[in-house]
A and B are shown apart, each in its own frame.
Chain A
Amino acid sequence: MPLESFTVSEPLTMGVELELQLLDTLDFDLAPRAQDLLRALDRHSGAWDVKPEITRSMIEIGTSIQREHAPLRDELHHLCRQLSRGARKLNIGIGGGGTHAFQQWSEQQIYPTERFHYISELYGYLAKQFTVFGQHVHIGVPSGDDALWLLHALSRYVPHFIALSASSPFVQGVDTGFHSARLNSVFAFPLSGRAPFVLTWNEFGQYFEKMTSTGVVQSMKDFYWDIRPKPEFGTIELRVCDTPLTVDKAAALACYLQSLCRYLREERPFEPAEDDYLVYTYNRFQACRFGLDGEIVDPKTKQRQKLRDDIIRTLARVAEHALDLRSLEANNQIRDSLFEGNDASWLRALRQGGAPLPALVEAASARWMMK
């Protein structure tokens, strides 16, 4: 099967997708209520989109195409309000966070669509274990070649987004010690990890044809890479973020990525190389395990530094671009969060204060629903 051509889109436009938890308001376990909520929202008044996800305790929301921070944040607020109103009407809680703190994966039910049943049959129990919740950010690029260049240039910044968004310290009722345990679930999939190092759309097309001829993949959707091109949208899609506990954080993360992309595209501070990936998995692990306190290795200089320090330096480098994109407020929010701690730290602090896990999930839900 040949690769579809890359749709041209306006550079640096962005869209945000959030996978959300549907919760029972009594015990705050996951509740299989996606169909009820989707029915209640089928005539919503926004340009945004809401759709089912792999299990019936999840939904995915997506914004319309945005260019700046303020409209993106406003749309996310509007979406959050309407979703919360629909959820309250049905006695459902909605929450962010990369994992649910104590759900049992075996109790999850696959959402009844052809695609999800196919995934369930192919991956077996992994499909139910995929009840994890991520934020995906799309950034518009004008061509396939641009997409691949940007995708690989961004690879060294992937730990930034993992650590900043990390909100999944608890899995199946246990503190994993990780800040983002969600990505461990994603890693179990055979086509996860990073994209192959090719820099032109033609080369990528050849790779795609080889893969489809093996029967391992049927479409681009079968790749669970950390960053992947999305030819039908004309975007690259960053998939490493946990769903944050608030929509404000989600908007800020998207705008930090937007300004970083502008910096990379306009200043071309380095050319991506295959060797960038020598330290990729190590850095990724450090971000997942230790969050902002993780120690990463620069693939070029081989120097070690704290992830928090690297983000501070990067924020300084992209500040001018953030100003031009009117997303300085978002980047300031990112800088503040470096000292306040990420959502995983917030959840852990609650737990250490003696809150039982259901109370933790309830508090996270209250933050998301802006109660």
Chain B
Amino acid sequence: MPPAARPETEAPAAMPETSLSRILPQAPAFAWPELQHIDPVLGLAAVMLVAVVAASAMHRLMHLPRLAGMMLVGALASPLGLGLLQPADLDAWKPIIDLAIAALVFELGSRLRPRWLIDNRWLAASCLLEGLCAALAVGGALVALGAPQMSAVLAALVASSTSPIIVMAGVHELRPRGQVGERLLLMCAINSVLAMLALKLWPLLAMAGQGTTGSDALSWVASALFVTCGSFLLGLFGGWTLDRAARLSRQRASMPVLQIALVMLAATLASSWGLSPLLTLLVAGMTARSLMGHRLTVEPYLGSAGAALTVLLLISLGVLFSFDGVQQVWPWVLALVGARLLGKGLGVVLLARPSGLGWRQAAGLTLALQPMGSLAVLLVADNFRWASQLPGFDPAVMQALLISASLMQLSGPLWLDAGLRRVAGECREEARHAA
């Protein structure tokens, strides 16, 4: 994949004449390349190498989860730190990063058992309630602090979701076994899909807010229906295709390759047809599990190549972190993070006992649901500058949302560790050393 064009490097300035230069024979002058001018492909590869080593060192010395360490290295390489990589550099990598995300979402889908929502109606209600409470709390807090109403609603929709990337990567590291871990995956999938659908309907909501709905409203509704039904059908077809292909190949060793091929196919088709890759891959994972049962063995990250993709993904998240303007919008950031914590906590606790969850487990689940990301919008956007694609979004609220997402992604592994291991006690001790 060709890297994005770079401005040509300026000629190095002439060396000042020193006593040493007068004595030594004249050699071609050497100068360290400026970090900003490194080829982005080379730069990202180098950062990956550093990230793995540095994350391990930070884990050993500071007990920082490796996932957080990798994101920190990405942030360090971004304009926030050394400026080695620019967010725009990642556009060239977007198909690969999308694949990494898609692999995690497919695996998430394959771990879900939708039947559970029928067996436990209170759990189904709880899944909706925690997203709703979080959205209401965030929206209410931002409006109370003077944010424009429609922008506050948009921020609330994004904030209602939990980051599937951080959750899946964290689950791989911590390996929880219990109610909290299972509910976390289910709630994360549901609140991400709902947030994605709400964002698809956002232009309609924006028009309604401005009182300009008309003939366009029907077309937006039709578009949302097309996205939902189309993604669902494509996911069903993807899962069915994987089942057929696995039956024909009959080789267990070829399963990861088939899965990667399916994930790429489904994600690409969904993107090019204007559908939701998130919903498509979740449905594909669930369908494949349902049809294939125990023949479907989903390796964590779809195997070691997928693990490398996930490192790349975590670094990219770090590069995309934004803390610009934090001095101006910090009250909104605090309100957003705090209100989201309270909203999700309320949603979980209200139906904890009827849905069969203990109080301590409810507290653990609330903490584990905190990792926040922009995946819901990332997968409906064409590039990483998705913020500019949402019409009518107040720049300050957007900035507060971006800073909050960065903060809650970076601290996501810590929330997961606190929720799943320390409070819920669902992780074995060895997982602590691995995380």
Contact = CB atoms under 8 A, between A and B. Distances in A.
Interface of A: 24-28, 31-33, 35-36, 39-40, 86, 88-91, 107, 356, 358-359, 362
Contact of A359 (B177, B293, B355, B356): B293
Given A32-B178, A90-B120, A90-B356, 8 more contacts: A26-B111, A33-B178, A33-B179, A39-B358, A89-B119, A90-B179, A356-B295, A362-B293
Interface in B414-431: 428
Given A32-B177, A88-B119, A26 B356 contact: no
Q: Which of B111, B120, B178 has the most CB of A within 10 A?
A: B178
Nearest to B428: A107
Nearest to B122: A89
Nearest to B289: A26
Nearest to B298: A26
Ranked nearest first, the 10 interchain pairs of A and B with the lowest CB-CB distance are A88-B119, A358-B294, A89-B120, A359-B294, A91-B116, A356-B294, A40-B356, A90-B356, A89-B356, A36-B179
Contacts of B178: 31-33, 36
B8 to A, nearest CB: 54
B6 interface: no
A350 to B, nearest CB: 12
B433 interface: no
B394 interface: no
Nearest to A107: B428
B113 interface: yes
Interface in B173-202: 177-179, 182
Interface residues on B, range: 10 to 19
A90 B113 CA distance: 12
A31 B177 contact: yes
Contacts of A26: 111, 113
Interface of B: 111, 113, 116, 119-120, 123, 177-179, 182, 293-295, 355-356, 358, 428
Nearest to B110: A26
Contacts of A89: 119-120, 123, 355-356
18 contacts: A25-B116, A26-B111, A26-B113, A32-B178, A35-B358, A36-B178, A36-B356, A39-B356, A39-B358, A88-B116, A89-B119, A91-B113, A91-B120, A91-B182, A358-B294, A359-B294, A362-B293, A362-B294
A24 B181 CA distance: 12
Contacts of A90: 120, 179, 356
Contacts of A359: 293-294
Contacts of B358: 35-36, 39
B125 to A, nearest CB: 13
A24 B177 contact: yes
Contact of A25 (B113, B355, B356): B113
Q: Which of B177, B355, B356 has the most CB of A within 10 A?
A: B177
Contacts of B294: 27-28, 356, 358-359, 362
Contacts of A28: 294
Q: Which of A26, A88, A358 has the most CB of B within 10 A?
A: A26
B255 to A, nearest CB: 13
A27 B296 CA distance: 10
Nearest to B119: A88
Contacts of B119: 88-89, 91
Contacts of B111: 26
A268 to B, nearest CB: 53
Contacts of A32: 177-178
Contacts of B356: 36, 39-40, 86, 89-90
A356 B295 CA distance: 8
Nearest to B116: A91
Q: Which of A24, A31, A35, A91 has the most CB of B within 10 A?
A: A91
A91 B122 CA distance: 13
Nearest to A27: B294
B76 to A, nearest CB: 37
A155 B322 CA distance: 76
A213 to B, nearest CB: 40
Nearest to A25: B113
Contacts of B295: 356
Contacts of A356: 294-295
Nearest to A31: B177
